[in-house]
């Protein structure tokens, strides 16, 4: 009897699904709620959650229905959806299969998000000029995320695979709930006291409520005041938080954050190899060019050497010819000098004898002329002496005449006498002084 009351899981879930499917009250019902965890699957189906203050339900809207929607919903939108309740048997999960949806205003989470955003924006929290540069080759990376999480493992694996040279410093923090805010702020401050070059702040995917702590102003302030660049990798690509806006770089996922923080060493090696090949090729090309240039100049030098040898032979021949000609000319010149010397010696002897005779004749003539001149001069001098003597004052005085003067001026007339002065009268044998008296 007891045996008949034991159900399998499949029987139980199937029974629940059947009951719900046959319940007319749960068919084509309209539900109001705030969308979260929206995923636009590559198959074209939409998967999301609808929640209110106290409860949450998983929803699916298949491609055949969502292609008639006039909009694509986003997290935080408040919607009114129409659909039926169903059970996904493999996971025993209650689902609302949505067949239609319409917008019903903006959700509370979005309103709070925009309120925080508008408050922080005037403070420059989101300004590009405050964004710090991400180091290209980090030596150390600080990782802030939950302990023993898939996000942490993804980050460590990505860093190791891309840039194994980087040291990693794990700073574990709560990443969900109200206590997560203080934990994350403390972790950011701790990371700034390490030697890390970059800080990664990350957590895996979750609902809007799960990720809401990353919209807190305290975390935004800690990121903004961080002295080290901060990369965020929070949730999935469709999740966006205030922390992402303040961060120096926002990555879509924790793995993408680790990829942004690190260069791929394989790409670096490829670049190095390419540079090495370029350098080797450049050096090889230069060497070939310089070898060709060296060969060219060697050939030119060899040509110069042959030309020099040729010119040396020609110069030697010309020098020998010049020496022979010079020797001949020298001998001829010596002969000419010898001949001219003999001619000059003969000419000089004749010229000297001629001039010597000429000079003797001239000397004799000059002596005779000088003697005649001297005789004439003696005669003229004697006549002049006699004439001068006849006019001498002494001769006049010898004949009984006197000479009177005043101030050494001979008085020629009585009119010349100055009666205020004495008169000197010269005789042949003396001088007397007298005072003139006017009668």
What are the structure tokens assigned to 167, written together?
């040291």
Q: Among 64-68, 328-332, 341-345, where is mean pLDDT lowest?
A: 341-345
Average pLDDT of span 182-207: 96
Is a pLDDT exceeding 50 seen at residue 84?
yes
Residue 400: pLDDT band (50, 70, 90) is: confident
pLDDT at 395 > cutoff 80:
no
Q: Are 423 and 411 in contact (CB under 8 A)?
A: yes
pLDDT band at 9 (very low <50, low <70, confident <90, very high): confident
| Cβ atoms of residues 202 and 211 within 8 Å | no
Kindly indicate the confidence band of residue 163, based on its pLDDT and cuts at 50, 70 and 90: very high
Does the pLDDT at position 55 exceed 80? Answer: yes
Q: What's the chain's average pLDDT?
A: 89
pLDDT band, very low/low/confident/very high, at 429 (cuts 50, 70, 90)? confident
Q: Which domains does the chain have, with CATH numbers?
A: 2-106 (2.40.50.140), 115-131+138-263 (3.40.50.261), 270-391 (no CATH), 395-434 (no CATH)
| 2 has a pLDDT exceeding 60 | no
Question: What's the pLDDT score for residue 40?
Answer: 93
- Would you state the pLDDT for residue 302? 85
Contacts of 104 (CB under 8 A, 6+ apart): 32, 78, 79, 80
Tens digit of each residue's pLDDT (9 = 90 or more) over 227-268: 999 999 999 887 889 999 999 999 999 999 999 999 999 999
Of 85-94, 140-149, 194-203, 392-401, which gets the smallest average pLDDT? Answer: 392-401
Of 231-240, 348-357, 360-369, minimum mean pLDDT range: 348-357
pLDDT given at position 1: 44
State in Å, rounded, how far the first CA of the chain is from the last one: 217
The pLDDT, as a whole number, for residue 76 is 86
- Please report the pLDDT score of residue 314 as a whole number: 86
Q: Please tell me which residue, 388 or 437, carries the higher pLDDT value.
A: 437
Least confident among 64-78, 122-136, 179-193, 258-272: 64-78
pLDDT of residue 275: 92
Helices 217-225 and 179-192, packing angle to 10 deg: 0
Instruction: Supply the pLDDT for residue 3.
Output: 59
User: What's the mean pLDDT in 408-415?
Assistant: 83
Residue range 422-429: mean pLDDT, rounded? 86
Query: So what's the pLDDT on residue 4?
Result: 65
């Amino acid at each position: 009897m007891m045996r008949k009351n034991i159900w399998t899981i499949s029987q139980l879930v199937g029974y629940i699904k059947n009951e719900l499917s046959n319940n007319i009250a749960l068919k084509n019902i309209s539900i109001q709620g705030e969308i979260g965890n929206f995923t636009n699957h590559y198959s074209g189906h939409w998967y999301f959650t609808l929640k209110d203050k106290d409860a949450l339900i998983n929803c699916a809207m298949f491609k055949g229905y969502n292609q008639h929607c006039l909009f694509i919903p986003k997290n935080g939108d408040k919607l009114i959806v129409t659909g039926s309740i169903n059970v996904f048997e493999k996971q025993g999960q209650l689902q609302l299969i949505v067949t239609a949806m319409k917008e019903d205003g903006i959700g509370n989470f979005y309103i709070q998000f925009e309120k925080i955003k508008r408050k922080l924006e005037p403070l420059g929290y989101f300004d590009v000029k405050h964004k710090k540069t991400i180091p290209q080759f980090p030596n150390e990376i600080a990782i802030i995320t939950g302990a023993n999480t898939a996000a942490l493992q993804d980050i460590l694996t990505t860093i190791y695979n891309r840039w194994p040279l980087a040291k990693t410093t794990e700073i574990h923090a709560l990443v969900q709930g109200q206590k997560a805010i203080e934990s994350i702020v403390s972790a950011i401050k701790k990371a700034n006291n390490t030697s890390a070059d970059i800080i990664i702040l990350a957590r895996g995917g979750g609902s809007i409520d799960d990720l809401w702590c990353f919209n807190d102003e305290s975390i935004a302030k800690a990121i903004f005041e961080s002295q080290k660049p901060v990369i965020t990798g929070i949730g999935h690509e469709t999740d966006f938080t205030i922390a992402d806006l303040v961060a120096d770089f926002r990555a879509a996922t924790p793995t993408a954050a680790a990829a942004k923080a690190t260069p791929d060493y394989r790409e670096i090696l490829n670049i190095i190899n390419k540079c090495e090949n370029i350098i080797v090729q450049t050096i090889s090309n230069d060497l070939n060019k310089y070898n060709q240039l060296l060969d060219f100049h060697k050939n030119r030098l060899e040509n110069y050497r042959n030309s020099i040898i040729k010119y040396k032979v020609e110069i030697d021949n010309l020098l020998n010819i010049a020496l022979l000609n010079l020797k001949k000319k020298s001998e001829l010149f010596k002969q000419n000098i010898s001949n001219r010397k003999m001619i000059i010696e003969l000419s000089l002897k004749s010229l000297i004898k001629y001039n010597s005779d000429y000079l003797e004749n001239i000397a004799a003539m000059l002596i005779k002329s000088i003697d005649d001149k001297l005789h004439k001069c003696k005669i003229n001098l004697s006549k002049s002496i006699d004439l001068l003597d006849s006019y001498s004052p002494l001769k006049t005085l010898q004949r009984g005449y006197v000479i009177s003067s005043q101030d050494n001026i001979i008085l020629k007339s009585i009119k010349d006498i100055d009666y205020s002065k004495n008169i000197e009268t010269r005789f042949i044998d003396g001088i007397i002084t007298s005072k003139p008296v006017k009668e």
